Structure 1
Amino acid sequence: MKNYSMFDVIGPRMIGPSSSHTAGAARLSKAARKIGGEEIKQVSFYLHGSFAKTYKGHGTDRALVAGILGMEPNDENLRYAMEIALEKGIEFEFIEADLGDVHPNTVKIIMKGISGKTTEVIGSSVGGGNIRVFKINGLDVEFTGEYPTLLVRHIDKPGAIAKISLILSEYGINIAFMRVFRQSKGKDAFMIIETDNKINEEVIDKTKALGEDFISVYLIDAL
């Protein structure tokens, strides 16, 4: 028999009306913003399934833009997110799309940052405000944002995992879950590390300084 927490029963603290279509959507786009790694100037949201059918009535559009602005799901300004984004000069659009055999509350987020760099993130809002991110720039990944999460894009070479693990150990950070996703042997890979402890900026700086085989480092605080 499954045990249920109060969170499962009453859902997250949020601006409504829907935990899946509002809170989850805001968390997804906030995670995407972190992965983008810079201020966003343009973003396209490709909405699948239920998201596509109800995004206006359930506030998914406002929530997605709010996440790009870095807002929490319970931010009182979430309802004004689109107006705030326009004031900041951020362009956004919503496109109904068939993303294939995925959860009905799935969105593909394509962002262009102030440097001109484009980042693509695909994820789902799976209920109760919970999320699952499963693709970054075409590469399969898997994380939920439940834990502090370190994402390291690197070249698939021996010793990469050991180097990151050593840095985390030096700072007393315990790894809860670790997964590595790669395109093919010796090519682009993503290391996803979810931890029991908060990850500080010194860890990020040390990881970035490991060398050219470590292409980019992202930190997503527990959402």
Structure 2
Amino acid sequence: MKYKSIFDIIGPVMIGPSSSHTAGAARIGRMARSLFNREPKWAEISFYGSFAKTYKGHGTDVAIAGGLLDFDTDDERIIQSLDIAEEKGIKIAFIEEDAITDHPNTARVRIGDEIGELELVGISIGGGKVEITELNGFELRLSGHHPAILVVHDDRYGAIAAVANVLTKHQINIGHMDVSRKEVGQMALMTIEVDQNIDDAVLEELTALPNITKVTKIVE
């Protein structure tokens, strides 16, 4: 992972003692909240590696809960996030996992309500930076440091080109793009990081394309 400035190494303005264990955790939680697009009614958070060993002392639990409440890394309410979640009726459970993962600061977040559920795996890579490596069973790479579009679609010829054509028409530059699928010819996921926030009108145009199931955006 390349850092653009000294501030990427020091980390962001934040609540808590560790950019990896607090700021990164808060961002993982907030990205889950953003992708879920609403406040969840429950959350089940599994910690692995260093997260599992030190999450209570380093405030990883309150940080990731604060992210689920849509608190930014410097929001002082993070300290009371578990109490705030309880007041809102949000049930949060933490699980210490023994399994060995590729990265020591790994969290699996499952959230849901009466409408649906979402599951993702996030890693905190240092300096407050994170990557989402799995979403609802799809492998991906999403940094959260750039605006992004997630497109769930049928694995069909022309689907990727159709999405790219819409972005080209609106002069939206693609910085990074991944495509993941569970099985050939079944459901697939495009993860597209772009250089600017996307208007809802563009999302509607993408959603209307053939073979597109769902389009979600993440703002910077």
Counterpart for residue 189 of structure 2: 190
Q: Unaligned 5+ residue runs, structure 1?
A: none
- The answer to whether the Cα contact below 8 Å between 1:39 and 1:114 also exists between their aligned partners in 2 is no
Deviation at 1:3, TM superposition (A): 7.3
Counterpart for residue 26 of structure 2: 26
| CA distance in structure 2 between the partners assigned to 1:181 and 1:216 by the alignment | 15
Change (3 A) 1:3 1:208: closer
| CA distance in structure 1 between the partners assigned to 2:99 and 2:121 by the alignment | 9
Please list, as runs of the form range in 1=range in 2, the aligned pairs for 1:75-90 lying within 5 A after superposition. 75-90=75-90
Q: CA RMSD in A?
A: 1.6
Please list, as runs of the form range in 1=range in 2, the aligned pairs for 1:79-118 lying within 5 A after superposition. 79-115=79-115, 117-118=116-117
| CA distance in structure 1 between the partners assigned to 2:137 and 2:114 by the alignment | 21
- The answer to whether the Cα contact below 8 Å between 2:105 and 2:124 also exists between their aligned partners in 1 is yes
| CA distance in structure 1 between the partners assigned to 2:98 and 2:219 by the alignment | 30
Question: Which SS does the other structure have where 1:20 is aligned?
Answer: helix
Please list, as runs of the form range in 1=range in 2, the aligned pairs for 1:111-150 lying within 5 A after superposition. 111-115=111-115, 117-150=116-149
Change (3 A) 1:215 1:38: farther
- The answer to whether the Cα contact below 8 Å between 1:182 and 1:190 also exists between their aligned partners in 2 is yes
Counterpart for residue 219 of structure 1: 217
How many residues were matched structurally?
A: 219
Deviation at 1:162, TM superposition (A): 1.6
Counterpart for residue 204 of structure 2: 205
Change (3 A) 1:216 1:37: farther
1:43-97 CA deviation, whole Å, 9 max, x = no partner?
0000001111111111100111111111111112111111111111111010001
- The answer to whether the Cα contact below 8 Å between 2:41 and 2:90 also exists between their aligned partners in 1 is yes
Change (3 A) 1:3 1:40: closer
- The answer to whether the Cα contact below 8 Å between 1:21 and 1:51 also exists between their aligned partners in 2 is yes
1:198 maps to a residue whose letter is: N
Q: TM-score, normalised by structure 2?
A: 0.94
| CA distance in structure 1 between the partners assigned to 2:87 and 2:166 by the alignment | 41
2:34 maps to a residue whose letter is: K
- The answer to whether the Cα contact below 8 Å between 2:3 and 2:9 also exists between their aligned partners in 1 is no
Aligned-residue identity in percent: 43
Change (3 A) 1:4 1:153: closer
Greater mean deviation of Cα atoms: 34-43 or 143-152 = 34-43
- The answer to whether the Cα contact below 8 Å between 1:38 and 1:114 also exists between their aligned partners in 2 is no
1:219 maps to a residue whose letter is: K
| CA distance in structure 2 between the partners assigned to 1:99 and 1:149 by the alignment | 30
Q: Unaligned 5+ residue runs, structure 2?
A: none
| CA distance in structure 1 between the partners assigned to 2:96 and 2:25 by the alignment | 15
2:60 maps to a residue whose letter is: T
1:137 maps to a residue whose letter is: N
- The answer to whether the Cα contact below 8 Å between 2:182 and 2:188 also exists between their aligned partners in 1 is yes
